[in-house]
Amino acid sequence: MPPTSKRVTASIAAVLALVLPSCTPGSPTDPAPTQSSPARTGSPSAEPSDHPDRPDPQVPDVAPEGFVTPPPGQGAERYRQQRIGWTSCGAHQCATVAAPLEHARPDRQAITLSLLKVPATEEPRLGTLFVNPGGPGFPGTSTAAELPRTGLEQYDIVGWDPRGVGGSTPVRCFQGEDVDAYMALDTSPDDSAERQALVVANRSFGQSCLERSGELLQHISTLETVRDLDLLRSLVGDERLSYLGYSYGTYIGALYAELFPDRVGRLVLDSAVNITDAEDVTQAEGFDRALGAFADWCVSQGCRLGTTREEVLEQVTTIFDATDVQPMATAGDRQLTQSLAVTGVVLLLYSEQSWPQLREALELAADGEGDALLFYADQYNQRGEDGQYGQSTFAFPAISCVDTADGGLDEALEQWQADEEVAPVFGRYFGPALTCPVWPVTPDVPEGTITGAGADPLLVIGTTGDSATPYEYAVSMAEQLESGHLLTLEGEGHGAFGDGNACVDGAVVAYLTEGTLPPEGTRCRE
């Protein structure tokens, strides 16, 4: 932990307990904001034939950690004939299984998938509930270990680290000081020179991932992950999939319903991402709304940032602008740049429970002390005390960019201008999404509209004050999926189930254990 004032130190443990419980429900499920703008969710956009500024992939001949020999046998059946060898890992059970690097070419290279199981404690067993925390790029193993079990005791709860993530065959990129410099870059360029510097930095970042990850980087799309999930369903012996996915994990669930509708059991999609081609509400708008709600609360608490909502918002933008001109000093040898200040604020907007810490961090920054916001930015970016970054920092952009077709750099800059018009604060400071337009692999996105035609009824949950995945995304997903059923939580925060709301928790448990959906139009309240 970097040196901080006593006031900052006193609040750190509290906020981390609130918003960083290893990606359990209600915590941020998106890892480090990259230079493609903070916490954008990975969902299909544009057409597969677009992406004019991506270089032709020049895949180096490297064997990443986790490349293994395929199991004995032929074709896809060689993987489905595996037996999961569960072993004790603390209070839980762990295992590793093999999956094809390319499901369309199962006799080539194999990769590994890491699993963690919390066994059922009550009879009769209902099978396996697979869980995914979102991201993309966050490990599901820790989510399974920490998911509240009340009402779900009849399920084996299994989390897996998706391909490219955590204990599975992981994406690797540059590390340490190189990542420090990348994270500190000015992401809201003011002129052509700054824009070009951002493009060059993103090209270098993507190339570093390709050089260290090889052909794995081409094969970590959600399409491949969904096929992995169906393999896992088969290996645990379930005829139909039971699944709980948060944030980006809702995209996994929706795409599973599209690819394997006859194998859908009970799917809970909490804090839905945008699965449409259109984006009527941007993520920047979601964070602007959350910042406005924080500002109202701050005024009601008599904070020093202002006596009106407008004054508080102006103080926040003043801090952002000041760190753009001159990075703010901290007690250590690093400085708080604008992008790091924005990231620190974003982390604390995920949950209204962390608003007191956001107030304190902003008041300190207004006094010229950048330690608190830098600390929270480091937590969001998964930067350890040794200067090394967590693996999800690299898996997030890698999966997002292979999942997202794009219209090139010019389109990204045009979209940035449009975002600023509808979200004056974060539309501006998130900057243009320039990582994916220059990513060194070709997108792998589903063709056509995701409807899940033929799937059994599934439950979509949206929170009206969700900053990371605006409520409109859940409404849209529930409407677009033919068997989608919407449950609304009126409140703030990202991730509804397992966060202590009896109405939401009861509805989810009833659906997962009995197949009973809440009445149409049900709205839970905090």
Identify the CATH number of the domain in which residue 501 sits: 3.40.50.1820
- Concerning whether 494 is annotated as a catalytic residue, the answer is yes
> What CA–CA distance (Å, rounded) separates 242 from 144?
14
Residue 321: per-residue pLDDT = 98
CB 497 within 8 A of CB 474: no
> What average pLDDT score do residues 427-442 get?
96
Half-sphere exposure of 90 (CA within 13 A, CB side): 8
> What CA–CA distance (Å, rounded) separates 424 from 433?
16
Which one of 142, 161, 378, 494 is the catalytic residue?
494
Domain coverage including residue 148: 1-526
> What CA–CA distance (Å, rounded) separates 253 from 230?
11
Is pLDDT above 60 for 131? yes
Residue 453: count other Cβ atoms within 10 Å of its Cβ. Answer: 12
**Highest-pLDDT range among 39-43, 61-65, 150-154:** 150-154
> What average pLDDT score do residues 97-104 get?
98
pLDDT by residue (tens digit) across 375-426?
Answer: 999 999 999 999 999 999 999 999 999 999 899 999 999 999 999 999 999 9
Among 6, 5, 3, 12, smallest CA distance to 344 is for 12
Is pLDDT above 60 for 326? yes
Residue 63: per-residue pLDDT = 86
> What average pLDDT score do residues 90-118 get?
98
pLDDT by residue (tens digit) across 209-233?
Answer: 999 999 999 999 999 999 999 999 9
> What average pLDDT score do residues 31-43 get?
36
Residue 59: per-residue pLDDT = 86
Is pLDDT above 80 for 204? yes
Q: In what order do the strands lie in the sheet with 241-246?
A: 87-89, 92-100, 110-118, 155-161, 127-132, 241-246, 264-270, 458-465, 484-492, 523-525
Predicted TM-score (pTM) of the model is: 0.89
The separation between CA 383 and the C-alpha centre of its own chain, rounded to angstroms, equals: 17
Is pLDDT above 70 for 244? yes
Residue 276: per-residue pLDDT = 84
Is pLDDT above 80 for 11? no
> What average pLDDT score do residues 486-501 get?
95
Residue 327: per-residue pLDDT = 98
The distance in angstroms from the start CA to the end CA of the chain is 34
Arithmetic mean of pLDDT over the chain: 90
Which one of 188, 208, 242, 247 is the catalytic residue?
247
Q: Strand pairing of 110-118 and 92-100?
A: antiparallel
Is pLDDT above 90 for 162? yes
Which one of 406, 466, 499, 505 is the catalytic residue?
466
Which tokens go with 499? 């966060």
Confidence tier at 37 by pLDDT (50, 70, 90): very low
> What average pLDDT score do residues 442-471 get?
96
- Concerning whether 247 is annotated as a catalytic residue, the answer is yes
- Strands (DSSP E) found in 279-425: none
Residue 61: per-residue pLDDT = 86
Domain count of the chain?
1
Residue 17: per-residue pLDDT = 32
Confidence tier at 278 by pLDDT (50, 70, 90): low
Residue 48: per-residue pLDDT = 43
> What CA–CA distance (Å, rounded) separates 269 from 244?
6
Is pLDDT above 80 for 490? yes
Residue 280: per-residue pLDDT = 64
Higher pLDDT, 12 or 242: 242
Higher pLDDT, 258 or 37: 258
Residue 35: per-residue pLDDT = 37
Among 525, 521, 519, 481, smallest CA distance to 503 is for 525
Which tokens go with 484? 């989608």
What angle in degrees, to the nearest 10, is found between the helix axes of 409-422 and 283-300? Answer: 30
